[in-house]
Copies of this chain bind each other. A is one copy, B any other.
Amino acid sequence: MSLVVVGSVAYDGVETPHGKVDRMLGGACTYIALAASYFTKPHIVAVVGDDFEKSDYDYLVSRGIDLEGLERAPGKTFFWAGIYSHDMNERDTLTTELNVFATFQPKLPASYRAQPYLLLGNIQPSLQQDVLAQMTAIRLAGGDTMNYWISDYRNELLATIAHWDFLLINDSEAKMLSGENNLRRAASKILAMGPHTLVIKRGEYGAILFRRDCHFIAPGYLLEEVFDPTGAGDCFAGGFIGYLASRGIQPQDGGVDLAELRRAVIYGSVMGSFCCEMFGVDRFRTLTRAEIDHRYHEFQACTGF
């Protein structure tokens, strides 16, 4: 079953200890859709400026991504630049130029409205809410958010995630949203806000999936070399929702196949790990589904006991 993804398509400038790229394709929606494209057909809703390269457009099309919802607006594409610390555990933002993204109003093409899966990338909560309201046959909807919305748009955010099946955030955001330092207690509080499924991403340490009655802890895949962690969390999200969509899973309260949710977390980790192996989206230019499944099995081999 196919998937609608809403969020940013951007250009990024990134410097890591392994090198520097001044401008390359990026943005949460891009990473999510690319990762999900190995499992299902993503339909994206995003905006770019008139500087958006034909080669980038063609690349997304080549991955089977539906770009009917990619709006072109006069002006420049969202640009972000950042630099990573020596051990890559921290990064500083050097530039954020919202450009056409500043006034982004997601417009869903008619053909998208009856799609069953929806992933709302990190944008203003009220826009996320508008998109979900336009969908007519949702089986599974959820998304991401960030510290800015948690602190400055809290009520709007709470009203938004109350309608989500799942929330996918990182550990510091989970602590901030819940006001709890302990992840188990943080998860209980967040699950009381609406979503029946919570995935807390922990960067190199993996991820934890929480539901009201159980949890699943997955360590991170151990890479020999991390070239560029940009987009890894979004690729996790893309692998997670992409796998669920490919299997037609509808994990509501009660009647859910937990084994499938666990597999979705591992596919998420696998996609996040591949993302780090090259700058930006470059790893996806050659990555195959066979390599993904191979790494899934490697994961099984080095975590089972």
A184 contacts chain B at the CB level, 8 A cutoff = yes
What is the CB-to-nearest-CB distance from A239 to chain B, in angstroms, rounded to a whole number? Answer: 14
A113 beta carbon closer than 8 Å to chain B: no
Q: Return A55 CB to nearest CB of chain B, in Å.
A: 32
Q: Give the residues in chain B near A224, CB-CB below 8 Å.
A: 182, 184-185
B217, A303: Cβ atoms closer than 8 Å: yes
**Residue from B182, B265, B305 within 8 A of A225 (CB atoms):** B182
A208 touches B182 (CB 8 A): no
The answer to whether B215 and A217 touch across the interface, beta carbons within 8 angstroms, is: no
A302 at the interface (CB under 8 A from B): yes
A153 close to B (CB within 8 Å): no
Interface size on A, residues (CB 8 A): 34
Given A300-B305, A305-B263: A222 and B215 interface contact (C-beta under 8 Å): yes
Chain A residues numbered 176-194 whose CB sits less than 8 Å from any CB in chain B: 181-185
Which chain B residues lie closer than 8 Å to A259 at the CB level? 305
| B222 with A302: CB separation less than 8 A | no
In the complex, what's the smallest C-beta–C-beta distance from A264 to chain B, in angstroms?
10
Given A202-B205, A205-B202, A205-B205, residue A218 in contact with residue B183 (CB < 8 A): no
